[in-house]
């Protein structure tokens, strides 16, 4: 005689059926592909490196959106793309045209097709990293106010690596005056933090606020979403960026600055795993 059906904990608010095993493994396979492409990045040069950059963003975007779709459903995945890719495109177009909120800059035309001076791959890059940052932030805290702030910093701190690397690679250039760090205006980092927190606040609510999600997997009961592939990608981006900036790219300053800035998130995330 079978026992009563499995029930979710009292704090679970969202429950949904997820696809079969083959579909559920797709985000993890794409995450592994991202790591492979990023390992190859320091080994290529010139125009091939630009093409590899675009390919990496596309695969990373696919990994993040497919994971969101599998584990959190179509409505959340659509919200994620609208807020982060749509919002990212809007702020980038405004930034190129007006210098707000990041400062005056221009893209060099090395990242493929563009719209209003912004390469189309750029808004996809906002999405690709925003989703792992959101999940890392939710692992650290579910507080409705602190959570979006932590997730916002988890995303914005990535730019401590990104901007110095992309400027050094010649993908965009800064024309802003005022204080700068590693050749990047301080206004850019402030703008990133503002935009990232706003994005995370909007997506946080769509993900269920402080409630814990649950999913019914193949009729086998209620399970929390498997966020490990996205957590692993976030940790990979951090560790590989520190290593690559310090060794392959000759950018020890951003290795140190990003190592500390993004490292605060990584340390808090690893601390949150204790006892799990």
Q: Domain-by-domain residue ranges, the chain?
A: 12-272
Asked if 126 and 85 count as a contact pair (C-beta separation under 8 A), the reply is yes
pLDDT of residue 227: 95
Strand partners, 181: 184
**Residue 252 corresponds to which tokens in the numbers above?**
């020890």
pLDDT at 177 over 50: yes
Sign of torsion over alpha carbons 184, 197, 147, 204: negative
Other CB atoms within a 10 A radius of the CB of residue 196 amount to 26
Mean pLDDT of the chain: 90
pTM: 0.90
The proportion of the chain whose per-residue pLDDT surpasses 70, expressed as a percent, equals 87
CA dist list (Å): 261 to 142, 157, 264, 267: 21, 6, 6, 10
Q: Vertex 126, ends 97 and 28: CA angle to 5°?
A: 160
Asked if 129 and 237 count as a contact pair (C-beta separation under 8 A), the reply is yes
Find, among 45, 46, 41, the residue nearest to 60 by Cα: 41
By CB atoms closer than 10 A (0-12, 13-18, 19+), residue 199 is buried
Cα–Cα distance for residue pair 223/225, rounded to 1 Å? 6
CA within 13 Å, CB half, 266? 19
Per-residue pLDDT tens for 10-51? 444 455 666 677 778 999 999 999 999 999 999 998 889 999
Relative to beta strand 172-174, strand 118-119 is: unpaired
Per-residue pLDDT tens for 241-276? 999 999 999 999 999 999 999 999 999 999 999 866
């Amino acid at each position: 005689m079978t026992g009563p059906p499995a029930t979710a904990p009292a704090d679970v608010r969202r429950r949904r059926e997820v696809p079969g095993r083959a579909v559920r493994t797709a985000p993890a396979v794409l995450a592994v592909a991202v790591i492979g492409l990023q390992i190859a990045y320091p080994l290529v040069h010139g125009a091939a490196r630009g093409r590899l950059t675009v390919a990496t963003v596309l695969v990373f975007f696919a990994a993040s959106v497919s994971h969101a779709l599998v584990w959190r459903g179509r409505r959340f995945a659509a919200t994620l793309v609208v807020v982060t890719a749509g919002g990212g495109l809007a702020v980038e177009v405004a930034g190129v045209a007006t210098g707000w909120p990041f400062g005056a800059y221009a893209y060099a035309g090395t990242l493929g097709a563009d719209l209003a001076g912004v390469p189309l791959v750029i808004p996809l890059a906002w999405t690709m990293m925003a989703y792992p940052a959101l999940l890392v932030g939710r692992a650290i805290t579910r507080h409705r106010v602190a959570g979006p702030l932590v997730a916002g910093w988890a995303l914005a701190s990535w730019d401590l690596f990104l901007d110095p690397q992309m400027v050094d690679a010649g993908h965009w250039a800064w024309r802003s005056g005022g204080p700068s760090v590693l050749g990047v205006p301080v206004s850019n980092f402030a703008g990133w933090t503002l935009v990232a927190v706003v994005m995370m606040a909007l997506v946080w609510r769509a993900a269920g606020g402080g409630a814990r999600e649950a999913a019914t997997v193949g009729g086998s009961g209620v399970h929390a979403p498997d966020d490990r592939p996205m957590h692993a990608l976030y940790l990979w981006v951090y560790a590989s960026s520190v290593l690559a900036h310090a060794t392959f790219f000759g950018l020890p300053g951003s290795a140190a600055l990003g190592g500390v800035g993004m490292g605060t998130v990584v340390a808090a995330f690893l601390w949150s795993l204790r006892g799990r």
